[in-house]
Amino acid sequence: MGELKLMKGNEALAEAAIRAGVDGYFGYPITPQSEVIEYLMAEKPYERTGMVVLQAESEVASINMLYGGGGTGKKVMTSSSSPGISLMQEGLSYLAGAEIPCVVANVVRGGPGLGDIQPAQSDYFQSVKGGGHGDYRLIVLAPSSVQEMSDFVPLAFDLAFKYRTPALIISDGLIGQMMEKVELFDQIPRLTDEEVIKRHPWATNGKPVGGERRILTSLDLDPHKLESHNWHLQAKYKTIEENEVRFEMLHCEDAEYIIVAYGSSARIAQKSIQLAREKGIKVGLLRPITLWPFPKKPIDELTKRGIKGFLSVEMSAGQMIEDVKLVVEGRTKVEHFGRYGGVIHSPEQVLEALEQKIIGG
């Protein structure tokens, strides 16, 4: 059993960064996730593991620091909240294009614009549908507990390096700020410079003696070459879709209705399901853990099994519902429910929506 602690989600994420053997964290403060960089500065990770922590001048700078640092084969990470993540979109597109691994955490707040500092899930489109320019994807992990804020850091790095692509951890102000018991994993040692050089021959950390120089770029002025590069990226994304879908199913065995919800909404929906079952309504929960790749197969199987309706519960005006509908293809009813702009729906409101929009509707 690992060390048990009562921690905020943001602190768990920061502690996990140190323990995951991250080499560099580059960030810029923004509510509701400033605790991440504050915790890291206070912890002196330089003394614990040799990890570099730097407060950048902007999120534009931090994401480009990830490009530079990640491009040398080191484990690099940043975190921010919605407006800051918007500023990073150009950089994420470059990172995806140049195939540089890194981990970015978004503790989502209400939008659009400056919005507010309350929890929201309205950055789904931005996270899974591109965000920046060009045909690219991010691996998107959605923790629904403080425990997962910790566990998903090493997982995100494993995936980012396995596929040489940026990975995004998307939580929200609720998970970031709430305190829960968390079992911390043991320290994963940082790789030595020699190990980094050996493990990542693509990385630019000094041309090997007698070898070829390495170039990291997202530019190719020859459209045919750029198209081939895109084919390569698309093939990689297909492999990720085939191998890395993660989800959780709760009370789905006998369910007639399914709530699809991730992150905080999945936590709230668990209570709604309990309330529903007390009333004799057979409802289950499908919780996507990877928002991209999206768990299409379980939704398709549930549809084939004759589920009478899906309710996509999100703290947004209805974003993930589009992906649910793409799988269901009109075979059964799909509706959305959610409060947004920083308002959190109650379990009772979710149940009411299920009864009105799916069962009664």
Q: Say how many C-beta atoms besides its own lie within 10 A of residue 10's C-beta.
A: 27
Q: Pick one of 1, 215, 222, 224: the residue that binds another protein (CB under 8 A).
A: 215
User: Which positions from 300 through 339 interact with another protein, judged by CB under 8 A?
Assistant: none
- The site that binds another protein (CB under 8 A) totals a number of residues, namely 39
Nearer to another protein, 23 or 323 (CB): 23
Q: Residue 204 interacts with another protein (CB under 8 A)?
A: yes
Determine which helix (DSSP H) or strand (DSSP E) holds 351, and give its type and residue range. helix 347-353
User: Which positions from 18 through 77 interact with another protein, judged by CB under 8 A?
Assistant: 23-24, 26, 52, 54, 56-58, 60-62, 64-69, 71-72, 74, 76
User: Which positions from 82 through 111 interact with another protein, judged by CB under 8 A?
Assistant: 90-91, 94, 98
Nearer to another protein, 23 or 35 (CB): 23
In angstroms, rounded to a whole number, what is the distance separating the alpha carbons of residues 244 and 263? 18
Nearest approach, Cβ of 24 to another protein (angstroms)?
5
Give SS3 for 104. Answer: strand
Alpha carbon distances (Å) from 295 to 244, 249, 292, 299: 9, 11, 8, 7
Q: Pick one of 130, 147, 185, 218: the residue that binds another protein (CB under 8 A).
A: 218
Nearest approach, Cβ of 52 to another protein (angstroms)?
5
Give SS3 for 218. Answer: coil
Largest interatomic CA distance in the chain? 73
Sign of the CA dihedral 39, 44, 49, 52? positive
Determine the Cα angle at 85 with ends 82 and 87, to 5°. 120
Nearest approach, Cβ of 168 to another protein (angstroms)?
18
In angstroms, rounded to a whole number, what is the distance separating the alpha carbons of residues 230 and 98? 11
Do 13 and 25 form a contact (C-beta atoms < 8 A)?
A: no
In angstroms, rounded to a whole number, what is the distance separating the alpha carbons of residues 43 and 66? 21
Nearest approach, Cβ of 351 to another protein (angstroms)?
47
**Choices 160-168, 198-206, 249-257, 310-318 (CB under 8 A): range interacting with another protein:** 198-206
**Choices 5-13, 34-42, 209-217, 314-322 (CB under 8 A): range interacting with another protein:** 209-217
Nearest to 138 by CA among 173, 108, 102, 109: 102
Nearer to another protein, 32 or 131 (CB): 131
Q: Residue 164 interacts with another protein (CB under 8 A)?
A: no
Q: How far apart are the first and last CA of the chain?
A: 48
Q: Which stretches of the chain bind another protein, using CB under 8 A?
A: 23-24, 26, 52, 54, 56-58, 60-62, 64-69, 71-72, 74, 76, 90-91, 94, 98, 193, 204-209, 213-219
